[in-house]
A and B are shown apart, each in its own frame.
Chain A
Amino acid sequence: MTTHNTTETTESAADPSEEGIDWQTKLRYFLNSDFVRSSPYWGIPFIIMGIAVYGGIGYNLAISFTDYAGIARPSFSSLDLEMYRRALADESFRAAAFQNFVLLVGFTSISLGLGLFLAVLLDYGIRYKETIQTIYLLPMALSFVVTAQLWLWMYSPGNGVLNVFVTALGFDSIDWLGDPRIALAAVIFALVWQFSGYAMVVFLAGLQSLPDDQFEAAKVDGASTTKTYIRIIIPQLKQASVGAAVVLMLFALKAFDFLYAITGNYRPPNGTDILATLMVREAFQYGQWAYGAAIATMLLLLSLAVIAPYLIFQHRQGSL
C-alpha cells in the first residue's frame, strides 16, 4: 500500500520549509496542516479500499506468475510468464477475447445510440415525461440475474415470447441462445434492453443542463428541429457521452453475471464466451487459479485502457 508517502506538505501562510525554522516548528506546522487533520476522514476509507483493490490486484498479479492450481498454497519461488503464454496460445482464450470485443463495442454503441434517441424523444416536449422516463429506466433496477431469467423466457426455443411472433409470421422458430451465429447478438440485445435507459438518463441530464435559448436562436436562423439537434445540441453532449460510454463498457466487461445466470452453469451459451466467463470457469470450476489470475490481469489491463483516457479527459475538462 502506498498510503502515506504521497506529498505531505502544509498549506499554512508561513512556509515552514523556509530556512531558519527549526524542525519542531516544522513538525507543528505539519501536524496542524489540513492534510493531517483531514486524514482520519479520507484515510480510513482509503486504507480499507486500498487493501481490497490494490492489495487484491497485486496478489492476483503475483499468483498469475506462478502455476498455482489450488492445492495448499501458491509457490512464489519460480515466477514466470507461462500462464500468459498459455492464454495467448489458447484457442478458447482468443475466441473469448474476440467475443468480448464484439460485445464491448456492440453493446456500448447500441446502448448509447438508443439512449440518445430516447433522451431526445423525451426532451422534446412530451407529456407524462417523468412517468415514461421511470418506465424506460425500470430495467436498471433489476439485477443481471433477474434480467437473464426474463430474457431466457423471451428467447426460449419452444413457446418463448419471441418465437411466438416469429412463428406467427410464418417462419420456423429460432433457437436464439443456442445458435452460435446469433447467440452473441441475442445477449447484446438483452443487455441493451437493461442499460439503454441508463444512457438515456445521462443524456437527459446533459440536455437539461444546456441553456434554453439555443432553440430560439436556431429557429430565428430558420433551422428545423432535427437540424438543431444534430448540428447544435448533440455535439454539446460530449462529456455526458464519454461518461456514459465508460460506465457501459465496464458493464460489458462485467457481463459474467448475466451469462452465468442465463444457463446456471459455468459455460455460457454457444459463441458467447467472454474473458470474464473464461476466467471464472478456469479458476473456480477447473481450479486453474494461476491461469484464471493471468486472464484476470489481462481483463484489468483492458479496463485500464478504457479508464485512463477517460480520467485524462476528465482532468482536462477540469472536473477532477
Chain B
Amino acid sequence: MSQSTSDTNLDVASVVEDVNLRRVGHYTIVILFLGFFLLPLITGIMTALKTSTAVANTLPFMPPLGDGFTLANLEYAFNRLSYAFVNSLLMAIPATIINVLLASMAAFGLTMVRWRGQLGILVLFLIGIFVPYQAVLVPLARFWNNIFPIADMLEPVFAIVPLIQGYHSALVPLIITHVAYGIPICMLLFRSYYQSLPNSLVEAAKIDGASITKIYRRIILPISKPMFGVVFIYQFTQIYNEFLFSFTLITSANSSEAPITLIIPTIGTSTSGIDFGIRMAAAFLAALPTIILYVAFAEQFAKGLETESA
C-alpha cells in the first residue's frame, strides 16, 4: 500500500510493458478529475481578466485575447477590497495566534497529565467542535451589542494607536468570538499530536522532579513546533474564510469594519445584474492569501485536515 514500495514496482513494470491499457485508463480518469477541480478556478481567473464585452462574447474558459484583456477588474476590486483586507488580517492574525497558544495549553493539560474526570471535560470540548454556530448566534449578537458592547468601550483606545483606526475596535468582539469557538478544534489537533509522543519523554522529566510548567515550556513547546505550524495554517484559513460571525456582528457589507468575506457577495452588483468580471476578480483577490498559504504548505494543510477527523 505504501507509495514508496508500489512506485518502484511500477517504474520497473512500466519500462518492461510499453502500453498498458489499464494504466492509460487510470491516468485518463486522474486527468479528467484534474479538469473537474480546476475548471471553475480557470474560468474564474479567465473571466477576471476580461473586459465586459469579452465576458459576454467569448467562451468563459478561454483566455482573454487582444482587446478582451484587461486588468481593470482586478484594479477596481483591489481598490474596493483593500480596507477589507486589512480588516480581515487584523482579525485573523491575532485571533489565530491566541487560539493556537490556548489550544496547545489545553491539549497539554488534557493529555500529558492524568486525572479522573478528564474524559468528561474532553467530551465537553469535543461537542464544542461540532456545535452549529446558528445555535449561538442570537446570544452572540445580544451579548456583544446589548450586554457587553466592548467595541464601543475600546473605540477611544484604538483611536490613539498609530496605524489603526477607531472603527477597528469592532474587530475585538470578532477576535474574541473566533478564539472561543476555535479552541476546541485546535485543542483536538494538538491532542492527537501529543498523544503520539512517547510517554517516556514526560515520565523521565517527572521523575527528575520537573514541574508541569517546566515540562510544558522546556519539552512540549520545543517539540510541538511542527504542530504549531499545522494548526496555525489550519486555523488561519478557517478564520480568514469565516463568514457567519462577521455577518452577525458587523451585519453590513458597506461598513468600514467589514472583513473581506462579507463584501464579496455584494461586489460588482448593479441594476443590470452581476458584473462577473469584477465579481471573479474580487473572489480571487479574497482567496489569494489562503491559496498562497495552501500552495506553500500543502503538506501541513492536508495534515491538519487528516487529524481533524481522526
Residues of A within 8 A of B (CB): 6-9, 11, 33-35, 37-46, 48-57, 59-60, 63, 73, 118, 121-127, 129-130, 132-146, 148-154, 156, 159-161, 164, 193, 197-198, 201-202, 205, 207-208, 210-212, 214-215, 233, 239-240, 243-244, 246-247, 250, 253-254, 256-257, 260-264, 275-276, 279-280, 283-284, 289, 292-293, 295-297, 299-300, 303-304, 306-307, 311, 319-320
Nearest B-chain residue to A68, judged by Cβ: B138
Distance (Å) between the CB of A181 and the closest chain B CB? 23
Bound: A11/B113 CA distance, A:
10
- Interface residue B248 (Cβ < 8 Å from any Cβ of A): yes
Nearest B-chain residue to A319, judged by Cβ: B310
Bound: A247/B305 CA distance, A:
10
Q: Given known contacts A150-B41, A164-B59, A256-B244, is B36 in contact with A193 (CB within 8 Å)?
A: yes
Query: In terms of DSSP, what is the predominant structure of the interface of chain B?
Result: helix
How many contacts A-B (CB < 8 Å)?
335
Query: In terms of DSSP, what is the predominant structure of the interface of chain A?
Result: helix
Inter-chain contact B132/A254, CB cutoff 8 Å: yes
Distance (Å) between the CB of B168 and the closest chain A CB? 21
Q: Which 10 A-B pairs have the closest CB atoms?
A: A42-B109, A41-B109, A243-B309, A143-B241, A56-B136, A52-B180, A141-B294, A7-B117, A45-B106, A35-B115
Inter-chain contact A146/B309, CB cutoff 8 Å: no
Distance (Å) between the CB of B106 and the closest chain A CB? 4
Distance (Å) between the CB of B171 and the closest chain A CB? 17
Inter-chain contact B243/A261, CB cutoff 8 Å: yes
Inter-chain contacts of B44 with A (CB < 8 A): 149-150, 153
Distance (Å) between the CB of A297 and the closest chain B CB? 7
Inter-chain contacts of B248 with A (CB < 8 A): 284
Inter-chain contact A51/B180, CB cutoff 8 Å: yes
Bound: A320/B40 CA distance, A:
39
**Interface-forming stretch among B2-10, B64-72, B158-166?**
B2-10
Question: Could you say which of A7, A53, A143, A160 contacts B116, with CB atoms under 8 Å apart?
Answer: A7
**Interface-forming stretch among B118-126, B149-157, B223-231?**
B118-126
Inter-chain contact A246/B309, CB cutoff 8 Å: yes
Inter-chain contact B243/A48, CB cutoff 8 Å: no
Residues of B within 8 A of A (CB): 1-3, 5-7, 9-10, 26-27, 29-30, 33-34, 36-41, 43-44, 47, 55-56, 59-61, 102-103, 105-106, 108-110, 112-117, 119-128, 130-143, 146, 177, 179-181, 183-184, 187, 211-212, 216, 237, 240-244, 247-248, 251, 261, 264-266, 269, 274, 276, 279-280, 282-284, 286-287, 290-291, 293-295, 298, 301-302, 305-306, 308-310
Inter-chain contacts of B33 with A (CB < 8 A): 118, 121, 136
Bound: A235/B279 CA distance, A:
44
Nearest A-chain residue to B182, judged by Cβ: A49
Distance (Å) between the CB of A237 and the closest chain B CB? 12
Question: Could you say which of A9, A38, A39, A201 contacts B305, with CB atoms under 8 Å apart?
Answer: A201
